[in-house]
Chains A and B, each alone.
Chain A
């Protein structure tokens, strides 16, 4: 299997699409939890920095991280250096892999991400990855609709490439509050049969939200993938469910560790056995089947959640 995905910069995209489609035949295998690549912790050197609208795209030399990484997985970065007062790692979707280098897209949220965005060529970062559950494969031959909010598109570049290469028709909706918060529009234009762009302020594409467009594209889709803010995921999952389609959502929850030890990033999720549990976004996700995520109960402790009774029984 090719160790390159999601890397589209500095090449003729249309030509690249032809070439990829012609030479790559990559089915997306379901990746059982047990078979996932073992994460590694490496000193990753910044070998590329690109400003993309409001974001920074970093190319990092991170040996071993990309070897078996799959679209949908993520990495974490330590921030602030050895004497940092910021103890917790920051998580970023893997947007591309090329041998020993990986790409991530960073949006400035606070002091931690600001510190990362200030990194220059040659700087070294503490990196762990690949982490998390990748996107599952679509049904054979099925057309996929990708719906991204803002930098959520980063985790879809590689997925779109692989889906195209495996012969799936791909449509995409990319939305953001403003045009500078869209990501990878040219790449998706090259990779998709149908591309819709929305901005809330009308500075690019159609004025509105992705959810205004999704219903128009659901009839041609066999499966939906969504990545973006939680309210968007909730809405797209509902739209997909109403149309009878499976929607795989990639969530962005606050994490402390990213490796499954801290229990911070949990969501109420319905399991195969019908029982709802608090599952960790970092190791049980970040990709969940949208219909299984109890969006209405995020931030609450539902009575029927596994183990909820013990919380009330405690003295």
Chain B
């Protein structure tokens, strides 16, 4: 089926940008991305945090983590490779300073949690239950910079299910998104396992595992050898993942991310099936990027005649009737 031009929505003045994280309505579909905005505070001089859909905070763990040795980053064509190793002060500090600061500011927080074991995720969700200003949990089961790469939860549907089921049991009410890795054979089956475990939505995608070799030192550029690749270089991979997940589960909301630097990029994710997007690496080059992109996305949707953002979610699938 190929929709004719007049099957498309008519032009409208402004577009209703409201969307949802699980059952929670948010006014703007553009969020920051975990690990690319710290806990929001550093971006405050450059944009209105309260206007964003939410600030997605850097993945927090139970204990303080130093992160990895340097060098931690290498710039790549239209991207960057990083291995920070989830440096952060731990859940106590997040609850004591960062979340109250965001809440006092009037910003919504989507809190990313990470752990080395199922029980750690459950304990983090328990600690965060009812935290002021928190609108959703993002469960990071796909950080490529953990010590045992082969044990990344998101690479095994059963392990992914176990983490999401534990988080759901720890906090039955909060909207929960599972953040997935593209480095799997069948991302849709991992997404389905997460939903079966209790996830309300899927965040896609985390970085791709990559490597850069320094031709001056003749060694890997990063101290950790491998790192996570992000930026526009991975955008087509991210879009493919969002497409496949939406194809498999039309009713499950997707927070799409991977190399979004413009409103047109964000629109691609919406059309592929995302109901909200995160802006990550673009923030490093332009700390105002999430705000700029949300304006550009609103304009792009209006110019294509969409009265509501929700009308555009997955729209690109209408023209494709074969299985992905």
What residues of chain B lie closer than 8 Å to A86, measured between beta carbons? 75
Residue from the list A88, A264, A301, A306 in contact with B285, Cβ < 8 A: A88
What residues of chain A lie closer than 8 Å to B65, measured between beta carbons? 307, 310-311
Which stretch of B77-85, B104-112, B165-173, B201-209 is in the interface? Answer: B77-85
Complex contact A261–B66 (CB within 8 A): no
Complex contact A78–B45 (CB within 8 A): no
Q: Would you call B310 an interface residue if the criterion is a C-beta within 8 Å of the partner chain's C-beta atoms?
A: no
Q: How far is the CA of A260 from the CA of B288 in the complex (A)?
A: 14
Q: How far is the CA of A41 from the CA of B116 in the complex (A)?
A: 39
Residue from the list B90, B147, B151, B285 in contact with A87, Cβ < 8 A: B285
Given A261-B42, A266-B87, the answer on whether A256 and B66 have CB atoms closer than 8 Å is no
Given A39-B45, A87-B231, A307-B67, the answer on whether A256 and B87 have CB atoms closer than 8 Å is no
Residue of B36, B90, B231, B285 with highest tally of chain A CB at under 10 A:
B285
Complex contact B287–A266 (CB within 8 A): no
Residue from the list B63, B67, B148, B261 in contact with A263, Cβ < 8 A: B67
What residues of chain A lie closer than 8 Å to B140, measured between beta carbons? none
Q: How far is the CA of A252 from the CA of B79 in the complex (A)?
A: 22
Chain B: number of interface residues, binned into ranges: 35 or more
Given A88-B75, A256-B73, A306-B66, the answer on whether A314 and B284 have CB atoms closer than 8 Å is no
Q: How far is the CA of A284 from the CA of B180 in the complex (A)?
A: 33
Quote the shortest CB–CB distance from A129 to chain B (angstroms). 11
Q: How far is the CA of A78 from the CA of B261 in the complex (A)?
A: 14
| A residues whose Cβ falls under 8 Å from a Cβ of B | 38-41, 78, 85-89, 126, 128, 253-254, 256-257, 259-264, 266-267, 277-278, 283, 298-301, 305-311, 313-315
Q: Would you call B37 an interface residue if the criterion is a C-beta within 8 Å of the partner chain's C-beta atoms?
A: yes
Complex contact B78–A314 (CB within 8 A): no
Instruction: Describe B's contact surface by its main secondary structure.
Output: loop
Residue from the list B72, B281, B282 in contact with A266, Cβ < 8 A: B72
Q: How far is the CA of A193 from the CA of B46 in the complex (A)?
A: 43
Restricting to B274-292, which residues have a CB under 8 Å from any CB of A?
281-288
Quote the shortest CB–CB distance from B263 to chain A (angstroms). 13
29 residue pairs of the A-B complex, CB under 8 angstroms, read: A38-B45, A41-B46, A87-B75, A88-B284, A89-B284, A253-B70, A254-B71, A256-B82, A259-B42, A259-B46, A259-B287, A261-B37, A261-B43, A262-B82, A263-B38, A263-B72, A299-B69, A306-B64, A307-B63, A307-B66, A308-B66, A310-B61, A310-B63, A310-B66, A310-B90, A311-B65, A313-B116, A314-B116, A315-B151
Q: Would you call B146 an interface residue if the criterion is a C-beta within 8 Å of the partner chain's C-beta atoms?
A: yes
What residues of chain B lie closer than 8 Å to A260, measured between beta carbons? 38, 42
Residue of A38, A262, A305 with highest tally of chain B CB at under 10 A:
A262
Q: How far is the CA of A253 from the CA of B70 in the complex (A)?
A: 10
What residues of chain A lie closer than 8 Å to B127, measured between beta carbons? none
Residue from the list B36, B64, B73 in contact with A261, Cβ < 8 A: B36
Q: How far is the CA of A68 from the CA of B147 in the complex (A)?
A: 44
Complex contact A261–B284 (CB within 8 A): yes
Complex contact A257–B283 (CB within 8 A): yes
Residue of B67, B90, B116 with highest tally of chain A CB at under 10 A:
B67
Given A40-B45, A263-B72, A299-B70, the answer on whether A256 and B63 have CB atoms closer than 8 Å is no
Total A-B residue contacts, Cβ distance less than 8 Å: 133
Q: How far is the CA of A99 from the CA of B149 in the complex (A)?
A: 52
Q: How far is the CA of A264 from the CA of B69 in the complex (A)?
A: 10
Residue from the list A262, A311, A315 in contact with B36, Cβ < 8 A: A262
Residue from the list B45, B66, B77, B90 in contact with A311, Cβ < 8 A: B66
What residues of chain A lie closer than 8 Å to B37, measured between beta carbons? 261
What residues of chain B lie closer than 8 Å to A78, measured between beta carbons? 285-286
Minimum CB distance partner of A298 in chain B: B70
Minimum CB distance partner of B148 in chain A: A315
Instruction: Describe A's contact surface by its main secondary structure.
Output: loop
What residues of chain A lie closer than 8 Å to B273, measured between beta carbons? none
What residues of chain A lie closer than 8 Å to B69, measured between beta carbons? 299-301
Residue interface mask B173-206, A partner, CB < 8 A = 1: 0000000000000000000000000000000000
Minimum CB distance partner of B259 in chain A: A87
What residues of chain A lie closer than 8 Å to B151, measured between beta carbons? 315
Complex contact B87–A262 (CB within 8 A): no
Complex contact B42–A278 (CB within 8 A): no
Restricting to B96-154, which residues have a CB under 8 Å from any CB of A?
116-117, 146-148, 151
Residue from the list A85, A261, A299 in contact with B78, Cβ < 8 A: A85
Q: How far is the CA of A88 from the CA of B76 in the complex (A)?
A: 10
Q: How far is the CA of A126 from the CA of B285 in the complex (A)?
A: 10
Q: Which 7 A-B pairs have the closest CB atoms?
A: A307-B66, A307-B64, A264-B73, A314-B116, A257-B284, A260-B42, A310-B63
Complex contact A299–B223 (CB within 8 A): yes
What residues of chain A lie closer than 8 Å to B68, measured between beta carbons? 301, 311
Complex contact A128–B287 (CB within 8 A): yes
What residues of chain B lie closer than 8 Å to A256, measured between beta carbons? 73, 75, 80, 82, 284
Q: Would you call B258 an interface residue if the criterion is a C-beta within 8 Å of the partner chain's C-beta atoms?
A: no
Q: How far is the CA of A79 from the CA of B66 in the complex (A)?
A: 31
Q: Would you call B29 an interface residue if the criterion is a C-beta within 8 Å of the partner chain's C-beta atoms?
A: no
What residues of chain A lie closer than 8 Å to B87, measured between beta carbons? 263, 266, 278, 307
Complex contact B73–A254 (CB within 8 A): yes
Q: How far is the CA of A41 from the CA of B283 in the complex (A)?
A: 13
Q: Would you call B53 an interface residue if the criterion is a C-beta within 8 Å of the partner chain's C-beta atoms?
A: no
Q: Would you call B232 an interface residue if the criterion is a C-beta within 8 Å of the partner chain's C-beta atoms?
A: yes
What residues of chain B lie closer than 8 Å to A283, measured between beta carbons? 42
Given A87-B80, A87-B285, A307-B87, the answer on whether A261 and B70 have CB atoms closer than 8 Å is no
Quote the shortest CB–CB distance from A271 to chain B (angstroms). 13
What residues of chain A lie closer than 8 Å to B146, measured between beta carbons? 314-315
